[in-house]
Chain A
């Protein structure tokens, strides 16, 4: 049923339909509305669920780790510093193979403190063993959460999933969203069948010490499960389409790339702006396109290769930067083409940091820049006078 609803409120409604048994929350802007909505559902008796207010994100992540260890579906959301405070626990969750789902409302990280959107927080955690999915719209954000539980709990995958949504741009945007019926969600998402649980009837030790003779194999196993996830993600997306009647999720989305000379690759809400500019420039006769990366981890290397191998000029737009190197997505995509025969010219652009608006003009500027020399780290809309002030 279509509703005019805030992104965070819609995600909370979706989580309710995914039926977690325990939710833990700790406040941080801009994800707070999700937890607040869920707390109200529980207070009103609309959900059979325990709500645990933690005293930090570190504990909040540890609480859902414990919940999952007794075989109960759970949920948590965070942003920015909260995600970084969770970092240690997130690695632990992945290493313990617990099929959790959390939402990261993407926000810049301190210092300087900045509560606005970029993707530095979740991108920093890309090596943690979590599957990372990025949403372009609130409809997609809602759909990805349902698919995320199904993916995490699949016995061939059994890894935690982080659904990343741009802070404010999505969390606080009010728009029309098609919210599913409970039966639709149930049909895609059966009850959790945990693979290993803490139970006095069959005692196990979880989180034991692995010495050098076995530790490497745990990393190999996670990496192999990530490869399984590359197969499962499109399958779940297809099933979703059958049941819900719309395309959502998957590894990538290609937009008007077939005959394109220039393509911008990006993740999250900025892709909508890119698509708008592509439409405008196509009307003006320019052969431009866009590739949306939905699944950032596991890296869909083959899909990226096939989507971009025929494109002469590729721009990768990162809303984060590995300081001292380049945009992380740009590095990933260059890695995909390393040693391959068809290698596009791949330029790296950094944009939208700390909530700086990425306008249509910013996107046109990127397409224009592609005709020139390859750039590695071009900061879009950099304001030199602001740099002087900062000094």
Chain B
């Protein structure tokens, strides 16, 4: 870290504000030759009030939804001046600005190919206006516009997968990070700024005020959200998943939820416990979809628990994790459950049941696949069955099946 911070102390953020910590990490990693375009929001308000500013780099704020567009103009102006080789451009905003009101502008900026890093500080609600729901508010969270009550458990839908949405623009780099892992945040900022073209970085930043947690627990919560699988740390390069931060032993989501007042209403009642199970299912689905839990070789597993900062080094390139790599898969299979055709039939994806299919003697979970809906694949194939013969008629290869999480073997 730089000895002189480019985001000065004396700003007015709350104690334990994850966004203030992350913003300093970002600008320090970027260095002095950067211009920042900021959205309206907490960061904008607590970092300056005339005539004071915490920014030691050139910084501009115009409106809530336009930092990506303002940055596009800054970048185009620097390109015209021939200064783009020396000066980096960052656009940044909270999750309300990035995922809701400014979403279109970011998409436009990425499509146009501007040489800009967009940083989204994700604290899952409109904190600056008083903790209202954003599209990034997690499932069941209590906000002032998704209050729990006799007929509600809070927000009724999960948040968007922003990093994947922006990765789908086929930009060179789209990644997530958590403020609990400062070295990882700064490595990703530097990596992104070394790439010419559009980049996206979503940083998970707890908000003690909005989440109703002890300000001393910011790092713990930002770490637990990763260790439960609720916020996967991933890197996409040119639209493809390039790496994931693996988890040794996923922690139950309760450990994350119980530290925060915004989930307090989920504890103490059977109905609330059922909701916690739904949140656990979200984490489990992330773990399955991204392969977040790796089987560790015995000797490494026995080694001392590495510090959080060191685990950052252990990120595995995704190409080594693709299901196409047969040996790893076969090791797992030997430990996996055996299914009879009768047992398999129960996993038909109907009424909330998981959707499994068999192919060449192995059983795969298609529950989370976007092209399977309640056990139905495009109206042509059903879950709970052995589809080996049917694949011959499919317009795709068997690789599409190998991408699904492997859950067992078919007996007989």
Q: Which residues of A contact B (CB under 8 A)?
A: 21-22, 24, 48-50, 52-56, 58-60, 62-72, 74, 88-89, 92, 96, 198-200, 203-211, 214
Contact assessment for B63 and A209 in the assembled complex, using a CB-CB cutoff below 8 Å: no
15 further A-B contacts with Cβ under 8 Å, apart from A22-B77, A65-B73, A199-B58, are A54-B108, A55-B105, A55-B107, A56-B104, A59-B104, A63-B73, A66-B70, A89-B66, A198-B60, A200-B87, A205-B48, A205-B60, A205-B61, A206-B58, A209-B49
Q: Taking CB as reference atom, which chain A residue is nearest B88?
A: A200
Please name all residues of chain B whose beta carbon is closer than 8 Å to the beta carbon of A68 when the two chains form the complex.
Answer: 73, 77
| A71 with B58, Cβ < 8 A, contacts A65-B70, A209-B48 known | no
What are the 3 A-B residue pairs with the smallest beta carbon separation, nearest first? A66-B73, A55-B108, A62-B69
Please name all residues of chain B whose beta carbon is closer than 8 Å to the beta carbon of A62 when the two chains form the complex.
Answer: 62-63, 66, 69-70, 72-73, 105
Please name all residues of chain A whose beta carbon is closer than 8 Å to the beta carbon of B63 when the two chains form the complex.
Answer: 62, 88-89, 92
Chain A nearest CB from B216 CB (Å) reads: 29
Residue of B44, B49, B57 near A203 (CB, 8 A) is B57
Please name all residues of chain A whose beta carbon is closer than 8 Å to the beta carbon of B73 when the two chains form the complex.
Answer: 22, 24, 52, 62-70, 74
- Interface centre among B33, B53, B71, by most chain A C-beta atoms within 10 angstroms, is B53
Q: Which residues of B contact A (CB under 8 A)?
A: 32-35, 37, 44-45, 48-50, 53, 55-63, 65-66, 68-81, 87, 104-105, 107-108, 111-112
Q: Taking CB as reference atom, which chain A residue is nearest B62?
A: A92
Please name all residues of chain A whose beta carbon is closer than 8 Å to the beta carbon of B70 when the two chains form the complex.
Answer: 62-63, 65-66, 69
Contact assessment for A96 and B62 in the assembled complex, using a CB-CB cutoff below 8 Å: yes
Contact assessment for A63 and B76 in the assembled complex, using a CB-CB cutoff below 8 Å: yes
Contact assessment for A66 and B60 in the assembled complex, using a CB-CB cutoff below 8 Å: yes
Complex A-B: 7 CB contacts under 8 Å: A62-B62, A67-B74, A67-B76, A200-B57, A203-B55, A208-B48, A214-B50
Contact assessment for A72 and B105 in the assembled complex, using a CB-CB cutoff below 8 Å: no
A69–B112 alpha-carbon span in the complex (Å) = 20
Contact assessment for A200 and B49 in the assembled complex, using a CB-CB cutoff below 8 Å: no
Residue of B50, B69, B112 near A53 (CB, 8 A) is B112
| A52 with B72, Cβ < 8 A, contacts A198-B58, A209-B50 known | yes
Residue of B37, B53, B87 near A66 (CB, 8 A) is B37
Please name all residues of chain B whose beta carbon is closer than 8 Å to the beta carbon of A49 when the two chains form the complex.
Answer: 80
Contact assessment for A208 and B49 in the assembled complex, using a CB-CB cutoff below 8 Å: yes
Chain B nearest CB from A7 CB (Å) reads: 27
A66–B65 alpha-carbon span in the complex (Å) = 14
Q: Taking CB as reference atom, which chain A residue is nearest B111?
A: A55
A22–B70 alpha-carbon span in the complex (Å) = 13
| A207 with B108, Cβ < 8 A, contacts A50-B79, A67-B76 known | no
Please name all residues of chain A whose beta carbon is closer than 8 Å to the beta carbon of B35 when the two chains form the complex.
Answer: 70, 198, 200
Please name all residues of chain B whose beta carbon is closer than 8 Å to the beta carbon of A50 when the two chains form the complex.
Answer: 76-77, 79-80
- Interface centre among B34, B56, B80, by most chain A C-beta atoms within 10 angstroms, is B80
Chain B nearest CB from A90 CB (Å) reads: 11
Residue of A58, A66, A204 near B76 (CB, 8 A) is A66
A205–B69 alpha-carbon span in the complex (Å) = 18
A200–B35 alpha-carbon span in the complex (Å) = 7
Residue of A63, A199, A209 near B45 (CB, 8 A) is A209
Contact assessment for A89 and B108 in the assembled complex, using a CB-CB cutoff below 8 Å: no
Chain A nearest CB from B105 CB (Å) reads: 5
Contact assessment for B76 and A52 in the assembled complex, using a CB-CB cutoff below 8 Å: yes
- Interface centre among A21, A49, A71, by most chain B C-beta atoms within 10 angstroms, is A21
Please name all residues of chain A whose beta carbon is closer than 8 Å to the beta carbon of B71 when the two chains form the complex.
Answer: 66
- Interface centre among A55, A70, A74, A92, by most chain B C-beta atoms within 10 angstroms, is A70
A66–B69 alpha-carbon span in the complex (Å) = 8
A116–B15 alpha-carbon span in the complex (Å) = 56
Chain B nearest CB from A78 CB (Å) reads: 14
Residue of B59, B62, B75, B111 near A205 (CB, 8 A) is B59
Contact assessment for A66 and B111 in the assembled complex, using a CB-CB cutoff below 8 Å: no
Q: Taking CB as reference atom, which chain A residue is nearest B66?
A: A62
Please name all residues of chain B whose beta carbon is closer than 8 Å to the beta carbon of A205 when the two chains form the complex.
Answer: 48, 53, 55, 58-61
A206–B61 alpha-carbon span in the complex (Å) = 6
Chain B nearest CB from A240 CB (Å) reads: 27
Please name all residues of chain B whose beta carbon is closer than 8 Å to the beta carbon of A56 when the two chains form the complex.
Answer: 104-105, 108
Contact assessment for B112 and A22 in the assembled complex, using a CB-CB cutoff below 8 Å: no
Residue of A48, A59, A208 near B72 (CB, 8 A) is A59
- Interface centre among B48, B53, B72, by most chain A C-beta atoms within 10 angstroms, is B72
| A206 with B69, Cβ < 8 A, contacts A52-B112, A198-B74, A200-B87 known | no
A60–B59 alpha-carbon span in the complex (Å) = 20
Residue of A48, A52, A65, A71 near B62 (CB, 8 A) is A65
Chain A nearest CB from B58 CB (Å) reads: 4
Chain A nearest CB from B336 CB (Å) reads: 47
A77–B193 alpha-carbon span in the complex (Å) = 33
Q: Taking CB as reference atom, which chain B residue is nearest A72?
A: B77
Q: Taking CB as reference atom, which chain A residue is nearest B53?
A: A205
Q: Taking CB as reference atom, which chain A residue is nearest B34?
A: A200
- Interface centre among A48, A56, A204, A208, by most chain B C-beta atoms within 10 angstroms, is A208
Chain B nearest CB from A101 CB (Å) reads: 15
Please name all residues of chain B whose beta carbon is closer than 8 Å to the beta carbon of A206 when the two chains form the complex.
Answer: 58-61
Contact assessment for B58 and A66 in the assembled complex, using a CB-CB cutoff below 8 Å: no
A206–B73 alpha-carbon span in the complex (Å) = 15
| A59 with B105, Cβ < 8 A, contacts A203-B58, A206-B60 known | yes
Chain A nearest CB from B7 CB (Å) reads: 12
| A211 with B72, Cβ < 8 A, contacts A66-B37, A203-B55, A205-B55 known | no
A235–B34 alpha-carbon span in the complex (Å) = 40
Q: Taking CB as reference atom, which chain B residue is nearest A95?
A: B62
A203–B104 alpha-carbon span in the complex (Å) = 29
Please name all residues of chain A whose beta carbon is closer than 8 Å to the beta carbon of B33 when the two chains form the complex.
Answer: 200
Q: Taking CB as reference atom, which chain B residue is nearest A49?
A: B80
A92–B66 alpha-carbon span in the complex (Å) = 11
Contact assessment for A208 and B69 in the assembled complex, using a CB-CB cutoff below 8 Å: no
A49–B61 alpha-carbon span in the complex (Å) = 25
- Interface centre among B33, B72, B76, B112, by most chain A C-beta atoms within 10 angstroms, is B76
Contact assessment for B77 and A66 in the assembled complex, using a CB-CB cutoff below 8 Å: yes
A70–B82 alpha-carbon span in the complex (Å) = 12
Contact assessment for A72 and B81 in the assembled complex, using a CB-CB cutoff below 8 Å: yes
- Interface centre among A198, A199, A214, by most chain B C-beta atoms within 10 angstroms, is A198
| A70 with B77, Cβ < 8 A, contacts A58-B66, A200-B35, A214-B50 known | yes
Contact assessment for B48 and A54 in the assembled complex, using a CB-CB cutoff below 8 Å: no
A211–B45 alpha-carbon span in the complex (Å) = 11
Residue of B62, B69, B76, B105 near A207 (CB, 8 A) is B62
Please name all residues of chain A whose beta carbon is closer than 8 Å to the beta carbon of B60 when the two chains form the complex.
Answer: 66, 69, 198, 205-207
Please name all residues of chain A whose beta carbon is closer than 8 Å to the beta carbon of B72 when the two chains form the complex.
Answer: 52, 54, 59, 62-63, 66
